[in-house]
Amino acid sequence: MSENKYENILALVDDPTVKEGSNFVDEHLHKWLCMGMTRWVCRNGTLSDGHDKYTDAQKYAQAIKEMYSYASNIQSQKATAMEAQADLLDAEEELEKAEKQSDKLRAKAKVMQAQARLVGAETTVKDQLRCLDEFNKVRLELKEAVEKQYPHGIEQAEPDNWEAVFHAKAAKNDRLTNVPLSKEKKAQLGLQYMRLDAIIPELIANGETLTGEEIAQLTNLKDIFEKASGMIKGHMAQSKLAAPGGKVAQLKPPKDGA
């Protein structure tokens, strides 16, 4: 009974479709077969505004980060291949010495498993090299301009990076609380977009806020915003939030019914 099962499994595995599929790596890798990201997704997905990458500095830094990650993974495949090759040599030696049919089957299985690990490691390296190469192309395209603008690196670029993220999120009416900017900067930008969630933290820092009772007495967003922005403008006139030339930025409140 068990022998019949075994013979049946061998026949199923020898199906032509199985053999055809196992050869797809040679025929379709990088063309129709991509285990990881395509070049298009590396460039236009991971480095896009969908991942809050709006500035060239953000894309440049992310490309470097991705390259490091892929390079580390590719290097780890070398160790995997060394272990698989060692197992293959041992299994082949074991197969040569095997006399019993059961020992031969076990040795053949070990040979097949080691060979499969070698094929898997090779395919992984080839697939990840595609991603690594595309991120490197982006890095080289951006390197000169970004390094010239921010010679001290990512920390120097972060204020501009996250201000760009703020503008994008505000335009899309997304949450702003998780954008890493100072309370003062958020308040300044919040006035431009009439966003109370960006203004309130600065009010609290200056010992002021809108209480629940005050908000309940205000009838709509326009009234609430005018109340909050009036407080902010008072602080702006006496702080670094003042616009260039010492003028306080003019505020346009929402239209009635907003």
From first to last of its 258 residues, what are the pLDDT tens digits of the chain?
Answer: 566 888 888 888 888 888 888 888 888 989 998 999 999 999 999 999 989 999 999 999 999 999 999 999 999 999 999 999 999 999 999 999 999 999 999 999 999 999 999 999 999 999 999 999 999 999 999 999 999 999 999 999 999 999 999 999 999 999 998 899 988 888 888 888 888 788 777 666 555 555 555 544 544 555 556 656 665 555 555 554 444 444 433 434 444 444
Q: How far apart are the first and last CA of the chain?
A: 78
Long-range contacts at 91-100 (CB < 8 A, ≥ 24 apart): none
Query: Structure pTM?
Result: 0.75
Name the strand (E) or helix (H) holding 235. helix 221-236
Long-range contacts at 141-145 (CB < 8 A, ≥ 24 apart): 142/56, 142/59, 142/60, 142/63, 143/60, 145/56
Q: Which two tokens stand for residue 28?
A: 């379709």
